[in-house]
């Protein structure tokens, strides 16, 4: 990694989530120290000058959803915290939020500690952790408190799918959402009806459908939409903010958009894959190609889905983008070669998200450069209470910055990507929008196609609860919208006796 700790980025266009302006940016000791035209550092010795004329200077991407080295479905995702974050910075992402997921009956704090022990020494960029709530008890409730108050966790993921593994039921969702509300955390949901998936899978297998197409057919999009609507209803009843992860279908997105129109505090996270490719791949004749796309919820066969989701992301119905990067190479996917229910679920994206969204969102004319920054970085920083330290180029913000060439193109391929996985679901996609330089914590970690990433350079970033962006409305409503009892004279008439 470049040892330089003073960098002057000259002549670029700074693009934040709300505005763009021509300006130089001066960085020292990992922080943005000055922004302005024709900046001249007081002591120019030792300052590295990077020419960004004609280029965009954007806040580094924040990927809200990764699973690096995740032990899952009989295997472990092949991109670990080193490979995964190295690939992230090569693609212009400077922060990831991964998930610490305990097994049912196990401690949430131990899961958090385990994930920290895996990640701390390996990460090449900053990271933080959501924690999974996969079962319910007083101990879980108490541990959520410890995580929120002492470990910087302000988001918990509940699973409505993966029956017998991670799935919890409505009363447990109600209890865990209520606890999130008390703690000022954000409830996240994997929204699919796990009971219906289990029944659908049995039916497919009994019909002799054992290949990846069965994975989509056993869980059509209404299975996702029903769970999304149910989660919205439960969260609304306990007045808890809700974040629906990996939005894969039009119908789930519609439930989220409707809830937002009604004023509910709900956020939807489409992923790079759902915004750019469709589920017709499950019917591909080559098993390994089809299996590479298996994830839950699945990509949808309706080919108009990706553009539809992109339009909702552009207009604010959907809020942020992650990737659900959870990679398994073909030989790992092959655990399920004779039974689609055994194919480890997950696909790539952490490296390609920024370029894919630029291509399909900005180059296509659906959103502008500011909305691009908002949906790849700023809104995530606001929801998860990292803003303006992250998600904005401003004096005092962390120097997580990308110099972005909006005109350059690259062709995505597993042959050239920096991930460990042997297959790339965006194979062959030509994307305008290429990161030229990635700066993480004030250091150049990627430049002109060359990585200078170092394991352990990134840090765990703790987060405070009660993010204003999420909780301001909720607090105000709590004060003015409480249900009140009707004052009446006591009933004095006859009451029948019951045995
Ligand atoms: O298929 C997926 N999504 N794999 C990762 C686990 C999850 O549900 O996010
Ligand atoms: Zn999930
Ligand atoms: Zn295909
Ligand atoms: Zn996931």
What is the Å distance from ligand 4's center to 145 Cα?
23
What is the Å distance from ligand 3's center to 444 Cα?
36
Full-model pTM: 0.97
Considering every ligand atom, which ligand is closest to the CA of 296? Answer: 1
What is the Å distance from ligand 4's center to 357 Cα?
19
Q: Return all residues near 121 (Cβ < 8 A) that are at least 6 apart.
A: 455, 456
Q: Which atom of ligand 1 is nearest to the CA of 166?
A: 8
Q: Which atom of ligand 1 is nearest to the CA of 295?
A: 1
pLDDT digits (tens, 9 = 90+) for 7-59: 999 999 999 999 999 999 999 999 999 999 999 988 889 999 999 999 999 99
Considering every ligand atom, which ligand is closest to the CA of 427? Answer: 3
Q: What is the pLDDT of residue 3?
A: 66
CA 418 – CA 409 distance, rounded (Å): 17
Pocket-testing residue among 64, 65, 67, 194, ligand 1, by greatest number of atoms within 8 A of Cβ: 67
Pocket-testing residue among 158, 161, 246, ligand 1, by greatest number of atoms within 8 A of Cβ: 246
What is the Å distance from ligand 1's center to 343 Cα?
12
- Picking from 6, 15, 84, 5, the residue whose alpha carbon sits closest to that of residue 39 is 6
Pocket-testing residue among 165, 326, 343, ligand 1, by greatest number of atoms within 8 A of Cβ: 326
Q: Which atom of ligand 1 is nearest to the CA of 65?
A: 9
What is the Å distance from ligand 2's center to 235 Cα?
18
Q: Which two tokens stand for residue 286?
A: 């080559």
Query: Residue 36 phi/psi, 5° resolution?
Result: 170, 170
What is the Å distance from ligand 3's center to 293 Cα?
8
Pocket-testing residue among 130, 296, 348, 349, ligand 1, by greatest number of atoms within 8 A of Cβ: 296
pLDDT digits (tens, 9 = 90+) for 74-133: 999 999 999 999 999 999 999 999 999 999 999 999 999 999 999 999 999 999 999 999
CA 3 – CA 90 distance, rounded (Å): 18
What is the Å distance from ligand 2's center to 185 Cα?
18
Percent helix, strand, coil in the chain (nearest 5)?
Answer: 35, 25, 45
Residues 210, 201, 307: CA angle, nearest 5 degrees:
90
**Ion ligand 2 residue ranges (Cβ < 5 Å):** 190
> Strands 31-36 and 20-28: what pairing?
antiparallel
Considering every ligand atom, which ligand is closest to the CA of 286? Answer: 3
In the beta sheet, which residues pair with residue 164? none
Closest-CA residue, ligand 1 atom 3, reads 296
Q: What is the dihedral of CA 441, 444, 446, 452, to 10 degrees?
A: -100
Q: Which atom of ligand 1 is nearest to the CA of 294?
A: 1
Q: Which atom of ligand 1 is nearest to the CA of 245?
A: 9
Q: Are 469 and 382 in contact, with CB atoms under 8 Å apart?
A: yes
Q: What is the pLDDT of residue 42?
A: 85
The 3-state secondary structure of the chain, one letter per residue: CCCCCEEEEEEEEEECCCCEEEEEEEEECCEEEEEECCCCCCCCCCCEEEECCCCEEEECEEEEEECCCCEECCEECCCCHHHHHHHHHHCCEEEEEEEECCCCCCCHHHHHHHHHHHHCCCCCCEEEEEEEECCCCHHHHHHHHHHHHHCCCCEEEEECCCCCCCECCHHHHHHHHHHHHHHCCEEEEECCCHHHHHHHHHHHHHCCCCCCHHHHHCCCHHHHHHHHHHHHHHHHHCCCCEEEEEECCHHHHHHHHHHHHCCCCEEEEEECCCCCCCHHHHHCCCHHHHHHCCCCCCCCCCCCHHHHHHHHHHHCCCCCCECCECCCCHHHHHHHCCCHHHCCCCECCCCCHHHHHHHHHHHCCCCCHHHHHHHHHHHHHHHCCCCCCCCCCCCCCECCEEEEEEEEEEECCCCCCCCCCCCCCCCCCEEEEEEEEEEECCEEEEECCEECCCCCCCCECCCCCCCHHHHHHHHHHHHHCCCCCCCCCCCCCCCCCCC
Q: Quote the distance between the C-alpha of residue 349 and its chain's center.
A: 11
Full DSSP string of 151-188: S---EEEEES-STTTTB--HHHHHHHHHHHHHHT-EEE
What is the Å distance from ligand 2's center to 192 Cα?
9
CA 174 – CA 4 distance, rounded (Å): 50
Pocket lined around ligand 1, Cβ cut-off 6 Å: 67, 190, 246, 295-296, 324, 326, 345-346
ipTM: 0.96
What DSSP state is assigned to residue 377?
I
What is the Å distance from ligand 4's center to 77 Cα?
12
What is the Å distance from ligand 1's center to 296 Cα?
5
Neighbouring CB atoms inside 10 A of 361's CB total 26
The strands making up 242-247's β-sheet, listed across from edge to edge, are: 61-66, 93-100, 126-133, 155-159, 186-190, 242-247, 266-270
Mean pLDDT by 10 residues, the chain (499 residues): 85 98 98 97 92 98 99 98 98 98 98 98 98 98 98 98 98 98 98 98 98 98 98 98 98 98 98 98 98 98 98 98 98 98 98 98 98 99 98 98 98 98 98 98 97 98 98 94 93 95
Helices 221-237/250-261 angle, 10° precision: 20
Q: Are 153 and 463 in contact, with CB atoms under 8 Å apart?
A: yes
DSSP-based three-state secondary structure for 480:
helix
Pocket-testing residue among 345, 349, 350, 425, ligand 1, by greatest number of atoms within 8 A of Cβ: 345
Q: What is the pLDDT of residue 70?
A: 98
What is the Å distance from ligand 3's center to 209 Cα?
19
What is the Å distance from ligand 1's center to 327 Cα?
10
Closest-CA residue, ligand 1 atom 9, reads 324
Closest-CA residue, ligand 1 atom 1, reads 295
Considering every ligand atom, which ligand is closest to the CA of 219? Answer: 1
Q: What is the pLDDT of residue 115?
A: 98
Considering every ligand atom, which ligand is closest to the CA of 73? Answer: 1
Burial class from Cβ neighbours inside 10 Å (0-12, 13-18, 19+) for residue 41 reads middle
What b-and-e string marks burial along 145-180, b requiring 16 or more CB atoms within 10 Å of the CB? eebbeebbbbbbbbbbbbbeebbbeeebbbbbbbbb
Q: Which two tokens stand for residue 211?
A: 């290949």
Q: Which atom of ligand 1 is nearest to the CA of 190?
A: 8
Structural domains in the chain plus CATH codes? 58-450+458-474 (3.20.20.140)
Q: Which two tokens stand for residue 264?
A: 């509910």
CA 362 – CA 321 distance, rounded (Å): 14
């Amino acid at each position: 990694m470049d040892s330089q700790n003073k960098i002057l980025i000259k002549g670029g266009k700074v693009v934040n989530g709300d505005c763009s302006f021509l300006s130089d940016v001066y960085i020292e000791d990992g922080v943005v120290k000055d922004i302005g035209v024709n900046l001249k550092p007081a002591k120019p010795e030792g300052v590295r000058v990077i020419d960004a004329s004609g280029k965009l200077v954007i806040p580094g991407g924040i990927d809200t959803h990764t699973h690096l080295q995740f032990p899952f479905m009989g295997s472990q995702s092949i991109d670990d915290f080193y490979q995964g974050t190295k690939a992230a910075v090569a693609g212009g992402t400077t922060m990831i939020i991964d998930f610490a997921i305990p097994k049912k009956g196990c401690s949430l704090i131990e899961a958090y500690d385990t994930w920290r022990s895996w990640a701390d020494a390996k990460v090449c960029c900053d990271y933080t952790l959501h924690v999974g709530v996969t079962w319910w008890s007083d101990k879980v409730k108490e541990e959520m408190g410890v995580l929120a108050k002492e470990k910087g966790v302000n988001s918990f993921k509940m699973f409505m799918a993966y029956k017998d593994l991670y799935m919890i039921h409505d009363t447990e969702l109600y209890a865990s959402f209520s606890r999130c509300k008390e703690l000022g955390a954000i409830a996240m949901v994997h929204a699919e009806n796990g009971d219906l998936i289990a029944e659908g899978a049995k039916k497919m297998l009994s019909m002799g459908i054992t290949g990846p197409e069965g994975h989509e057919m056993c869980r059509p999009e209404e299975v996702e939409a029903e769970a999304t609507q149910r989660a919205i209803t439960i969260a609304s009843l306990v007045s808890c903010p809700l974040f629906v992860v990996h939005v894969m279908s039009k119908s789930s997105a519609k439930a989220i958009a409707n809830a937002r129109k009604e004023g509910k505090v709900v956020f939807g996270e489409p992923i790079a894959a759902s915004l750019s490719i469709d589920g017709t791949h499950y019917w591909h004749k080559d098993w390994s190609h089809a299996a590479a796309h298996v994830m839950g919820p699945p990509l949808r066969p309706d080919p108009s889905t990706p553009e539809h989701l992109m339009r909702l992301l552009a207009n604010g119905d959907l809020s942020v983008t992650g990737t659900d990067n959870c990679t398994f190479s073909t030989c790992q996917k092959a655990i399920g070669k004779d039974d689609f229910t055994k194919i480890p679920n997950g696909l790539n994206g952490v490296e390609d998200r920024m370029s894919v969204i630029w291509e399909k969102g900005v180059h296509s004319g659906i959103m502008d450069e500011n909305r691009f920054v908002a949906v790849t970085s700023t809104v995530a920083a606001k929801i998860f209470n990292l803003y303006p330290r992250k998600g904005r180029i401003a004096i005092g913000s962390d120097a997580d910055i990308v110099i972005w060439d909006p005109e350059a193109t690259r062709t995505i391929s597993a042959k050239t990507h920096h991930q460990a996985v042997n297959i790339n679901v965006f194979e062959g996609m030509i994307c305008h929008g290429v990161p030229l330089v990635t700066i993480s914590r004030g250091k150049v970690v990627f430049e002109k196609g060359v990585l200078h990433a170092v394991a352990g350079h990134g840090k765990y970033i703790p987060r405070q609860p009660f993010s204003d962006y999420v909780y301001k409305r909720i607090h105000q409503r709590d004060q003015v919208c409480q249900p009140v009892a009707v004052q009446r004279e006591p009933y004095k008439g006859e009451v029948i006796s019951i045995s």
